[in-house]
Amino acid sequence: MNKAEEYLHYASGVIETIMREEKEGIERAAAALKDTMARGGMLYTFGTGHSSILCMEPFKRAGGLGACCPILDDRMMPNLPKKPEDVGLERREGVTAEIFKRYPIKAGDTMIVICYAGKNATSVDACLLCRELGVTSIGISSVEHALTVGPHHSSGLLVHQACDISIDNHGRAGDASVDFDGFTVGPISTIVGGAIIQAITCRAVELMVEQGVEPEILISANIPNGDEHNQPIFEKYRKIVPFM
């Protein structure tokens, strides 16, 4: 088995573990998201660094929910330059409260909080703020990594302890998965995190259909009538979603 095959084998094994071990968490998350959509609420996503990739995963996607808003901050995006004072910002308490003020987050909404390490102060704060706001928080993190490094938040909590619904992505401490002599490559967080988010979405839509709630689903802009189908949804949420 070469290293490409080893990575794909490892990734598929992690997804199989998630299917087996996180079934209850995914079901609870889907039920919460279904309730939010049925009430006309929003799905928010929050994450920093490379977790911001997963914040974008369900947003404006073909086959995705229209009522979705990623919470992003340029100071904590991996593709943008940082001022010296912003280095390590994701580890500082209080930052999330300032970011949340830019969004009309309300009771009854659902938020997916993605933090592989499970310890960053901004992500723990996100879970705690959701509780104050009456928002259901779904944490996606590596519990193994979080327990290995321990809490850095003043509450003593890790993401999987601070959120309402925890889903373990079952990745290794350190994220990378393919070993060489003296180093490891092949991070797993994006591929399994995306699978978890889409699994939650698919099950939530299934629950909506079962209960007679019409899901508001986007379609590909690259098929006939795609733009015509999506544009009314974009217009509906333009005042809520700054990136729409």
Is 158 a domain residue?
A: yes
pLDDT in tens, 228-241: 999 999 999 998 99
Asked whether residue 194 is assigned to any structural domain, the reply reads yes
- Average pLDDT value over all residues in the chain: 95
Mean pLDDT of 70-78: 89
Higher pLDDT, residue 195 or 73: 195
Residue 205 maps to a domain: yes
CA distance 170 to 18: 7
Q: Would residue 84 count as lying in a domain?
A: no
- Please check whether residue 243 lies inside any domain of the structure: no
pTM of the model: 0.96
Instruction: Identify the CATH number of the domain in which residue 150 sits.
Output: 3.40.50.10490
How many domains is the chain partitioned into structurally?
A: 1
Render pLDDT for 45-59 as a digit per residue (tens, 0 to 9): 999 999 999 999 999
Task: State the Cα–Cα distance between residues 219 and 233, nearest whole angstrom.
Answer: 11
Query: Does residue 140 fall inside a structural domain?
Result: yes
- Domain residues for the domain of 129 are 3-79+89-237
Strand order in the sheet with 43-46: 68-71, 43-46, 110-114, 136-141, 165-168
- Per-residue model confidence as pLDDT tens digits over 57-67: 999 999 999 99
- Report the share of the chain in percent with pLDDT over 90: 91
pLDDT by residue (tens digit) across 100-158?
999 999 999 999 999 999 999 999 999 999 999 999 999 999 999 999 999 999 999 99
- Rounded distance, CA 53 to CA 8, Å? 20
Share of the chain above pLDDT 70, in %: 100
Q: Distance from CA of residue 100 to its chain's centroid? A: 16
Q: Average pLDDT, stretch 4-29?
A: 98
Of 161, 140, 136, 164, whose CA–CA distance to 151 is shortest?
Answer: 161
More confident residue, 76 or 111: 111
pLDDT value for 81: 83
Q: Is residue 200 part of a domain?
A: yes
Q: How far apart are CA 171 and CA 30, in angstroms?
A: 22
Per the domain annotation, does 54 fall within a domain?
Answer: yes
